[in-house]
Homo-oligomer: A and B are copies of this chain.
Amino acid sequence: MPPTQPDATRARKAQAAEIERPAEGTLGQHAYDCIRSDILRGHFAPGSPLRLQALKDRYGLSFSPLREALNRLQSEQLVSSVAARGFRVTDISVAEMWDAIETRTLIDGEGLRRSIQRGDDDWEAQVLGTFHALSRVFERAFGQSGPIKDDDRDLLETRHAAYHRSLISASGSDWMLRFSTQLYQQTQRYRWPFFSGESGDALLKQSYLAEHREIAEHAVARREDEAVALLARSLHRTGEVIEELHGAAKG
């Protein structure tokens, strides 16, 4: 995509005032990206209120673009709002997680099936390519001991998302892609502590990567049922791991 070479004014302002990077089209879009990212990576905890003043201070924006962003996020179930009491980060719960995971199993399963039926060379290349990229950052992130680095974690999440998207990218259905993305986003909130774990259970992480490889290989080999079944199992296992972690953290 073109760089969208936007506005000289904002560039000037950024130089003059702060070195933030409002490289998007509108401030509203910028606010949307920032808040969304901060929610997904847990900077704003689930259930915590999103005070306008606090957001204004944090991002250096005015009410209007913030409100704009919050309303869009509300329709995506990342924030919820009550009458005249403002916005808060949508809560999470084990039941909600399972709902999201099972629904995603349905959508991604069908999406993968269709991709396998309709995907061309480019699709195969994309699946294998995104898996390769994922595995590389996976090794780098968990290969070394100690806590995972923030940059690695971001990249890991980005490539994990890209991989899963590629699996269903040839399905031909925009709605499925959209829903899948939304559900992925939702489960990402639960998965985050998993990725940030102390790499204690590297074994499990290893099998996680192996699963992803198998899915990719079945997919490009057009083994529909195997790929779909394996994807479903993988998603389900993720749910179980999360449930365990949550139980350990809260119980």
Contact = CB atoms under 8 A, between A and B. Distances in A.
Contacts of A178: 77
Given A64-B64, A68-B67, A179-B179, A173 B75 contact: no
Contacts of A96: 174
A173 B102 contact: yes
Interface in A131-171: none
Interface of A: 4, 6, 25-26, 28, 64, 67-68, 71-77, 83-84, 96, 99-100, 102-103, 106-107, 110, 172-176, 178-179, 183
A26 B107 contact: no
Oligomer: number of copies: 2
A45 B70 CA distance: 27
Contacts of A76: 75
Nearest to A83: B25
Contacts of A64: 64, 67
A172 B98 CA distance: 11
Nearest to A26: B84
Contacts of A175: 99-100, 103, 183
A77 B76 CA distance: 11
Nearest to A63: B64
Contacts of A67: 64, 68
B99 A174 contact: yes
A71, A96, A173 — most chain B CB neighbours (10 Å): A71
B176 A83 contact: no
A29 B67 CA distance: 13
Contacts of A183: 175
The interface centre, meaning the residue of A64, A68, A178 with most chain B CB atoms within 10 A of its CB, is A68
A103 B179 contact: yes
A64 B66 CA distance: 12
A108 to B, nearest CB: 11
A207 to B, nearest CB: 27
Nearest to A24: B83
A73 B72 CA distance: 8
Nearest to A107: B106
Contact of A75 (B4, B72, B100, B103): B72
Given A68-B67, A72-B75, A183-B175, A110 B99 contact: no
